[in-house]
Structure 1
């Protein structure tokens, strides 16, 4: 392209309204965020279809949880590089590598997920587990690379990124719902009559032995994994455009902000304080911050060390619950109420995540007191979900429609409240600078790891949770 053509292109771009350019950047940030956890979220929602064809069966979720935490070697390396070699690591080449790895791994899953290998006289799904580990490395590393990259854009795009991260769970869940994953019918095991009942309507009144028959999905797991690969390609294209599209250049922040030197940025914000969006306003005013000692070393030092510790503790706790503890028992908490309850809870919880992001976009309440209250609120619903999982296969209201409503509503409110907390913490730390966002991603992974390591022995070693039979489990009325 000649220099005259380039100047003509930039002239045409300048003629395009800034609102359209902003909308384009919002869309690209959302699509980029969708690539953060879409692969592993896709694995979770596809479990009911694939567990019946592999030797690990329903132990696979606990294996996946451990693999995801082992994959934290990626975030650990990135965090150590930022700690001991600040400024030496550019996130962009790392993002290209991990997203490319995600595209390849999801593509290979479509062909090798059924393959097994004999190890010590028993079959194991080695290709599935290895590729799942690689996808875990991709998604875990995205926590400490995608977020710091968003520092290059204006603050309002971070919330859009979180919305895309939420959609990384919603979109695969909707596709799995269309696919018809895990639909079960109960059939008389003796085949002496045509006695079919759906697992959702079975009340345990029949004395006949019934057999669970999994209905074929509308399309195969191979097609689903190809869809995940295509989603990763979309995320890569969005990332390329965020880096190289001329229209996005005007939405980038300057290098001083990216490097963590916020003094000039804050002075500029002080000149136009009344024109700030809610996302750009610090929770504590500069005058109040002067009186607070000691101050944190992040960015503006707007928070005391004690407040920073509180923020990171809440972040670790929330991610431990949402990323490891509760997902590992989701099937135990929902399946006793029927497959419809399980799919509805999984789908609506996935919807709640981006909804929380959109709420945070317009109402980013940064009060640490409110954050603590909302964390306790969500933890309460998480405790109810855990209690129902522990009571499986006979939880409260197991044969009542109200039981289904309560468990689905509990999952929605649990995800909605704690997702909002995660987004607000991300927005707060975004204002504290690049280093704070790197540590944000590291704490997210640390909390998830602690939750997973805590749940694995309870689920897979000691067997404290019982799944029951979809067709023959009988509970007292």
Structure 2
């Protein structure tokens, strides 16, 4: 294996979702400066789902015009669009336009839509491109995809985003009109004061643009560097999706090592008949459906449902708990990828067990968000420890599942990875769409105050 190829695959993967992830972590600095204020996260959720027209177009083209669309020119276009959009965002995110007598951040919303198209479309183009390299590099790509959330979060921490200082303020009461007491009464409480950042949002968005440039350079080198060329598969392997005879020839020319194949015995293979027509036919129809249902469920939880309630589940325990949970969860993603690199357990039973376990952690997080601003153990240090650990274990379990499913589908061929990206986006869309009315329309979740948590002990 080539270390250079591993590094390039990781940097390429970092560009997949770095723009939108960067938008989310920068919200505490952005929302006080725009007319939408904290309605912006709701708008972003809708915008990201609208951007699924990108992966929908790619998937339909692959379904009805197989072989007519090369993912490489598409990747050049979307990464270039990401570079331009993030750069423009640095200079126009504060600009507003008057519509219907009120101000709206039209440039910010339009550029966010373009970035959403870039990141959503990466799910159905970046993964199929990785088919051109040996299977070991797919796990490295997933590690880079995990870092696309971690790196902006760490930069935001250095920047000082969301750092709160609790300050005593006096609330004025009503004047006493009696002659013997004409003073003004007031009450004192703590108010959350957000500290100024070490550098501006403009600098942060320029940093995101630089990250997209790094992604583009990594992609160019993956296509043209001589050292990477030795790590590519034979062309017959890729044309196999359109020509079954050539695909079988390509697979025979590049037989996988035992550790790269699904862990099944010959007797188990006989018991699992009949085979499906999906990919190489390794899995039955029921198993293929199970894999895609798990993939959709996992992405619905990790990309849509739980992120929308993260602040509700953590802020009642304090600002420190919120930042620890967000940062450590971001670290858990690439850690899960590295674990999968050295311990790729492809058992579907084990996958089902991890799915249930991760869903239990997710249920606890959802329960604490529903109980906000007075969740369990809110006055105890154990409450902070439990909620942070739950977020870490939730992301760790489900990120491992996503990587293993990606590795499994990678062995099933180019078409399987295209459908993998489509199901990832579908699950994310369903998860985010289901939470939007609950959070933003009906207001079922109540935010906790990091400085004033008034709950019964």
Deviates more, 1:413-422 or 1:119-128: 119-128
Deviations 1:280-339 (A, max 9, x none): 212335664455443222321000011000000000000000001011111111111111
Q: Which of 288, 303, 316 is equivalent to 2:296?
A: 316
The answer to whether the Cα contact below 8 Å between 1:335 and 1:342 also exists between their aligned partners in 2 is yes
Corresponding position of 2:176: none
Deviates more, 1:409-418 or 1:39-48: 39-48
Q: Which of 157, 164, 167 is equivalent to 1:177?
A: 157
The answer to whether the Cα contact below 8 Å between 2:234 and 2:250 also exists between their aligned partners in 1 is no
CA 1:226–1:467 in structure 2 vs 1: closer, same or farther (change >3 Å)?
same
Distance in 2 between the 1:294 and 1:59 partners? Answer: 51
Report deviation, 1:114: 1.6
Corresponding position of 2:84: 104
Q: Does 1:92 align with 2:72?
A: yes
* Structure 2 gap segments, 5+ residues each: 173-185
Distance in 2 between the 1:241 and 1:297 partners? Answer: 35
Corresponding position of 1:264: 249
Report deviation, 1:51: 1.8
The answer to whether the Cα contact below 8 Å between 2:171 and 2:187 also exists between their aligned partners in 1 is no
Corresponding position of 1:55: 35
SS in structure 2 opposite 1:313?
A: helix
Please, what TM-score do these two structures have when normalized by structure 2? 0.92
Corresponding position of 1:199: none
Q: Does 1:454 align with 2:453?
A: no
Give runs of aligned pairs for residues 118-267 of structure 1, distance below 5 A.
118-190=98-170, 208-259=188-239, 260=241, 261=244, 262-267=247-252
Report deviation, 1:221: 0.9
Report deviation, 1:39: 0.5
Corresponding position of 1:305: 285
Distance in 2 between the 1:395 and 1:69 partners? Answer: 31
Deviations 1:116-140 (A, max 9, x none): 2233333322211111111110000
The answer to whether the Cα contact below 8 Å between 1:392 and 1:468 also exists between their aligned partners in 2 is yes
Distance in 2 between the 1:317 and 1:166 partners? Answer: 18
The answer to whether the Cα contact below 8 Å between 1:344 and 1:408 also exists between their aligned partners in 2 is yes
Give runs of aligned pairs for residues 27-106 of structure 1, distance below 5 A.
27-106=7-86
Distance in 1 between the 2:140 and 2:258 partners? Answer: 14
Corresponding position of 1:417: 397
Count of paired positions = 439
Distance in 2 between the 1:58 and 1:405 partners? Answer: 28
Please, what TM-score do these two structures have when normalized by structure 1? 0.89
SS in structure 1 opposite 2:451?
A: coil
Corresponding position of 1:470: 450
CA 1:331–1:437 in structure 2 vs 1: closer, same or farther (change >3 Å)?
same
Deviations 1:445-476 (A, max 9, x none): 00001111100000010000111433344111
The answer to whether the Cα contact below 8 Å between 1:298 and 1:433 also exists between their aligned partners in 2 is no
Distance in 2 between the 1:166 and 1:26 partners? Answer: 15
Report deviation, 1:188: 2.4
Corresponding position of 2:382: 402
The answer to whether the Cα contact below 8 Å between 1:67 and 1:132 also exists between their aligned partners in 2 is yes
The answer to whether the Cα contact below 8 Å between 2:171 and 2:188 also exists between their aligned partners in 1 is no
* Structure 1 gap segments, 5+ residues each: 1-18, 193-205
